[in-house]
Amino acid sequence: MPKKKKAKGSKFAFKLLLVGEPEVGKTSLIKRYVDDFFKEGYQITLGVDFLSKSVNIQNPKTGEDQELTFQIWDVAGQSGFTNFRHLYLKKAHGVFLVFDLSRPDMTYEKLDRWRADIEEQSPNAKVIVIGNKEDIAKGEVPAGKEEILDRFKALEFFTTSAKTGSRVQEAFVQMGQLILGE
């Protein structure tokens, strides 16, 4: 595999994490974003995986494009890893709280725990909530946008599909802008 090069002149590296219950699609969202690729079939993440991506994002403060590197942490949802995984949140710039729109009852409320861990480890991290698997969503989202933002002290809420690619890019770009705009 070719080595991923750091963007030339890239001064900023932002640590981003995706967290949430097993099989909500965290790994799939990252693959879609980094490699524009989707694979059917579940391959469990063990512990944590890392990927990095160099991007150009418009800095909302200057209006100019900014080169930066996202260091993306893909944190396992499986409960065998719960003892220490909250420590991954240390020094996070941004966290995506991911639930599954096709199983909201099993994946949405569980995000409270993650939100509490963020508060403890990286209280200044920007938080975006993602309802993934929009392509097979059943019915409504579990709450209105305002309620979701309020509950998780989040700055944005996106419904996405790693499968079709819908709004995946937007969610990451928005995260970069929230961090840059601080």
Q: Contact positions toward ligand GTP, by CB under 6 A?
A: 22-28, 40-45, 76-78, 132-133, 135-136, 161-163
Cβ atoms of 78 and 49 within 8 Å: the answer is no
Least distance between Mg ion and beta carbon 42 (Å):
8
Q: What share of the chain is helix, strand, coil (3-state, %, to 5)?
A: 30, 25, 40
Question: Which of 15, 18, 25, 27 touches Mg ion (CB under 5 A)?
Answer: 27
The nearer residue to ligand GTP, 76 or 97, going by C-beta atoms, is 76
Q: Which pair of tokens denotes residue 97?
A: 């709280």
| Beta strand extents in the chain (DSSP E only) | 12-19, 48-58, 65-75, 94-100, 126-132, 156-159
The nearer residue to ligand GTP, 122 or 161, going by C-beta atoms, is 161
Residues 6+ apart with CB under 8 A from 127: 94, 95, 96, 97, 115, 118, 152, 153, 154, 155
The nearer residue to ligand GTP, 77 or 104, going by C-beta atoms, is 77
Least distance between ligand GTP and beta carbon 40 (Å):
5
Least distance between ligand GTP and beta carbon 29 (Å):
7
The nearer residue to ligand GTP, 67 or 117, going by C-beta atoms, is 117
Least distance between Mg ion and beta carbon 39 (Å):
12
